[in-house]
Structure 1
Amino acid sequence: MEVLVFATNVTSEGQVSRVQTLLTNLPTIAEWNFDLDDCDNILRVVSSDISPRYIENLLHSAGVNCRELGEF
């Protein structure tokens, strides 16, 4: 498993709900969460074998700006 970290423009629980189904339905994602208290509105994704670009494109399709910050 790897942890992917993204900066986003998600600022509310309503926006989190909008992408919840997209992230929850991906079988390669074990868990995910947003840190809305962080200045970059961080999304952390724990996953096996998923491309950061896939996550970025998936969220962009839902109207969310998202860019990878790095792998930890």
Structure 2
Amino acid sequence: MITIFKTNISEEEESRVRQFLNLFKEILKVDFDFEDCDNILRIETVGDIASHVEIMLNSNGYFCKELL
């Protein structure tokens, strides 16, 4: 399953956010697109964990919203 999020994550914060995302064993792959105006975060997972990713990133000071 591939899920796409709009974020306010910058290139400088990428490594810190990857550490947070590494806590989810369901995530297979993480990609960022900083050239997009929405600072896209794209994750490939083995299940639907979008709400968990949003909650975790939002509670750590980032904006993260799934794009439907």
Percent of aligned pairs sharing the same letter: 37
Q: Which runs of 5+ in 1 are unaligned?
A: none
Q: TM-score, normalised on structure 1?
A: 0.85
C-alpha deviation, 1:24, in angstroms:
1.9
TM-score, normalisation: structure 2:
0.89
* CA displacement 1:44-68 (0-9 Å, x = unmatched): 0100113211110011122110000
What does residue range 1-72 of structure 1 map to in structure 2 within 5 Å? 2-11=1-10, 13-70=11-68
- Structure 2 residues not aligned, in runs of 5+: none
How many positions carry a matched residue from both structures? 68
Runs of 4+ aligned structure 1 residues displaced above 4 Å come to: none
SS at the partner of 2:19? helix
